[in-house]
Amino acid sequence: MKSSNFLIDYQCPQCGAPAVLDETDRLFSCEYCRVKSYLTTKDYFRYTLPSKAPENIKVLYFPYWRFKGMLFSCVSDGVREKYLDVSYQAINSPFFPMTVGWRSQALKLKFVTPDTEGRFLEPGQPFENVMDTFEGRLIGSVPKPVFHQAHIGESLSLIYSPFYTNSRIYDAVLNEPVSSSLPDDFTESVFPGGNPDWKIEFLPTLCPDCGWDMDGRRDSVVLICKNCDSLWQPEDNEFKKIKFAHFEEKEKDIIYLPFWRIRADVSEIELKSYADLVKIANLPKFVKQNYDIKFSFWSPAFKIRPQTFLPLAQKMTLFQPREKLIYNLPEAELYPVTLPLSEAVETLKINLVSFIKPQKKWLPKLCDIEIRPRSFLLVYVPFIEKHHELIGLSSNFTITKNQLKMAGNL
């Protein structure tokens, strides 16, 4: 499924200058006052479509859940992947459109703020129910039974579309009716709602340790302080330091891609060392004495199309990099971290299914297998940059530059 980000009209919280943000932007740098801010929220972002309702008309904002992300399904013949970009009513109602369609890509949105005029309806059904609806529709195209599903790299938001009533429901974007005549007993008061009380949180991007300006790409979920060699990720309305390392490489034309290395306890299966991995994955190797190194799951710490994401996670996990770790930042280009640790943890069972043998034996037992993360490390892995692709120097894995470029819309 094709996907694109929507654009958001925005104002700098410091000087009020206008700006246009991409949906995935989190780090905002004002072109006027040069102040940088990190946008965050306690749950999910809320947006409004532009209203063109006539003057003196009371606008009613109807909510839609919007989900973007990768969906992986474990079925009898392996793992099926699909990219989702869907919206659906957050209130069950026959009077309003079921989705926002392509409007979120075609029109500039705005963040909901407490001073946004209009009556905002409260979501009547939780997102989990809507996700069940999405999955139910997709199940028909996936072979049964489905043993496990995981959502990776998901982006959840609430989009409010403007309407007003005048014997019928009118779309306030086009000022056209979207319903037939309303029943005589129809009243807006049946929908709970009121003035919006939600606002964006802004985190100053000064390093909590040394006070230096932190850096990152606009869609980064981890910021870098090059002054004191530290990495920080937003959590609970503050930045928290994370552990990191890199594999040293002295070649030229190097770019470092970030990966999450996750060590975890796996129930029902003996998977604590590389020797265990050789047996479980039926790798064509003899178990040697030096194979007692600890086993780790590996996941890309950056978003990429699902057709590439899982094979890359599987290859890195089977490869189990053993180079010496250097616990500082490399002096080379760093690709931004765009997939948070919480999402990488969701990949563990899918990753396990991708290499375990015999797969058909273990698929029915997936529901009994528990994977509990114990520790994590963000590792920068060196890739040499060619004209059209990046090649892992020790692993020889190849990622095309176009795949990374297309990931900007995920």
Tens digits of residue pLDDT in 54-102: 988 899 999 999 888 888 989 888 898 888 888 899 999 989 999 988 7
> Of the candidates 201, 223, 258, which is a domain's last residue?
201
pLDDT of residue 290: 65
- Residue 385 inside a domain? The answer is yes
- Residue 61 inside a domain? The answer is yes
The size of the chain, in residues, is 410
- Residue 1 inside a domain? The answer is no
- Residue 105 inside a domain? The answer is yes
Same domain, 194 and 335: no
| Burial class of residue 165 in the structure, from the number of CB atoms within 10 Å of its CB (0-12 exposed, 13-18 middle, 19+ buried) | middle
- Residue 230 inside a domain? The answer is no
Same domain, 16 and 156: yes
Same domain, 195 and 281: no
Annotate 63-81 with b (16+ C-beta within 10 A) or e (fewer).
bbbbbbbbbbbbbeeebbb
DSSP letters along 25-38, please?
--EEE-TTT--EEE
- Going by C-alpha positions, the residue among 109, 70, 133 that lies closest to residue 409 is 70
> Of the candidates 145, 169, 201, which is a domain's last residue?
201
Same domain, 27 and 126: yes
Same domain, 15 and 135: yes
> What averages of pLDDT result for each successive group of 10 residues across the chain (410 residues)?
63 80 83 87 88 90 91 89 87 91 77 89 86 70 84 87 91 89 79 87 92 94 96 92 93 92 96 92 73 92 93 94 93 94 95 93 92 97 91 84 78
> Of the candidates 201, 224, 257, which is a domain's last residue?
201
| Burial class of residue 198 in the structure, from the number of CB atoms within 10 Å of its CB (0-12 exposed, 13-18 middle, 19+ buried) | middle
Same domain, 330 and 194: no
What CA–CA distance (Å, rounded) separates 191 from 95?
12
Same domain, 276 and 157: no
Same domain, 189 and 250: no
H-helix segments, 228-273: none
Annotate 238-276 with b (16+ C-beta within 10 A) or e (fewer).
ebeebebbbbebeeeebbbbbbbbbebebeeeebebbbb
Which domain does 305 fall in, by range?
Answer: 243-409
Same domain, 250 and 175: no
CB 161 within 8 A of CB 100: yes
What Rg value do the Cα atoms of the chain yield, rounded? 24
- Residue 329 inside a domain? The answer is yes
H or E segment and range at residue 263: strand 254-266
Same domain, 100 and 180: yes
CB 44 within 8 A of CB 111: no
pLDDT of residue 285: 72
* Total count of domains within the chain: 2
pLDDT of residue 1: 43
- Residue 219 inside a domain? The answer is no
Same domain, 188 and 256: no
State whether the Cα torsion 158-69-269-299 is positive or negative: negative
Q: How many CA atoms lie within 13 Å of 323's alpha carbon, on the beta-carbon side?
A: 19
Same domain, 196 and 49: yes
- Residue 231 inside a domain? The answer is no
What CA–CA distance (Å, rounded) separates 284 from 278?
8
